[in-house]
Amino acid sequence: DSLWDLAIAEVEKREKPDDDGKRVEVWEKSVLFMGNKNGGKTTIILRCLEREEIPKPTLALEYTFGRRARRHNTPKDIAHFWELGGGTSLLELIRIPITSNNIRSFAVVLVLDLSKPNELWTTMEKLLQVTRNHVNKILTKLEKTNPEVATEIKQRMRNNLQRDHPDYELVDPFPIPLVIIGSKYDIFHEFDSEMRKIISKTLRFVSHYYGASLVFTSKSEALLLKARALINHLAFGYDKSKSVSVDHSKPLFIPAGLDSLSQIGPPPASDSDIGKMHANTPLELWKKVFEKTFPPKSFCDLHDTKDPAQDLQYAEYEVDVMRAQKNQ
């Protein structure tokens, strides 16, 4: 047989129903990782893909992929992993990985550095706002061109909470699946217990409000495995974990839809303080309480001190010579 004959036979074999009469469909998902600078995104991705590499700083937007077979002798599913570097300074790059073609199979992982509580709310708010606006634009377009898909995406996010859940009407789910990872738990664990409680309760509220899963992780293998379980669920459709840990003295692990406002309780502030805070939404109230304890640092991500053009890992002799000539 020629190469062409073999290729045709291979394609026909793939398209024929397998033994139980179903076609084996290759599953393709995309996941975008974003969050604090140096927050551990690359480490988590490498761990998910079981790669023994030393993480390098991410420049702008990076792409990698993983493949897994669900059963023996079945085609491998593919997961596309995108990673946005630079904290909140490169937000406009979000629109490159998230498009109307892959929106149905897209998910977001937000990695927040627990050791920097003063940057936590700002980073989270900026990244989620820009992502949400972009996704909503795509959904608005889809409503005109493909209304069934748009409805399916919206419905799927509402389904994270059972209809009989007491908070069903009180939350505002993120338009696509979201996992929030609190990284560097080992440093966070050394914090004063009251500070830990405020950060944990706030992240529980935000995750529950957005219909997201929440997990705390560090370099410890056991915690990385928990984060990996949530990401593998998004990327490869593995079963959801049913375990829950809401004890503030331990690392949190709460899959989407398994928390409730009554369990989380009110924002950690006295009634008189809450009375003085003018907030229009519960989210705004939590933000004000959180920022009272951890005032946001006026950090400017935009002025990156290191110029990537000078970075040795991107050296290209011909280009650099021309560049030097142009500068001269």
Give me the residue spans of the domains in the chain: 24-327
Q: Rounded mean pLDDT of 23-51?
A: 77
Per-residue confidence (pLDDT) for residue 211, from 0 to 100: 86
Task: Answer yes or no: is pLDDT of 114 > 70.
Answer: yes
* CATH no. for 24-327: 3.40.50.300
SS in 3 state form for the chain? CCHHHHHHHHHHHHHCCCCCCCCCCCCEEEEEEEECCCCCHHHHHHHHCCCCCCCCCCCCEEEEEEEEECCCCCCEEEEEEEEECCCCCCHHHHHCCCCCCCHHHEEEEEEEECCCHHHHHHHHHHHHHHHHHHHHHHHHHHHHHCHHHHHHHHHHHHCCCCCCCCCCCCCCCCCCCEEEEEECHHHHCCCCHHHHHHHHHHHHHHHHHCCCEEEECCCCHHHHHHHHHHHHHHHHCCCCCCCCECCCCCCCEECCCCCCHHHHCCCCCCHHHHHHCCCCCHHHHHHHHHHHHCCCCCCCCCCCCCCHHHCHHHCCHHHHHHHHHHHC
pLDDT tier, 23 (very low <50, low <70, confident <90, very high otherwise): very low
Task: Answer yes or no: is pLDDT of 306 > 50.
Answer: yes
Task: Answer yes or no: is pLDDT of 66 > 50.
Answer: yes
Per-residue confidence (pLDDT) for residue 325, from 0 to 100: 92
CA–CA gap between residue 174 and residue 45 (Å, rounded): 22
Q: Over the stretch 199-218, which tens digit does the pLDDT of each residue have?
A: 889 998 998 888 888 888 88
Task: Answer yes or no: is pLDDT of 322 > 50.
Answer: yes
pTM tops 0.95, yes or no: no
pLDDT tier, 308 (very low <50, low <70, confident <90, very high otherwise): low
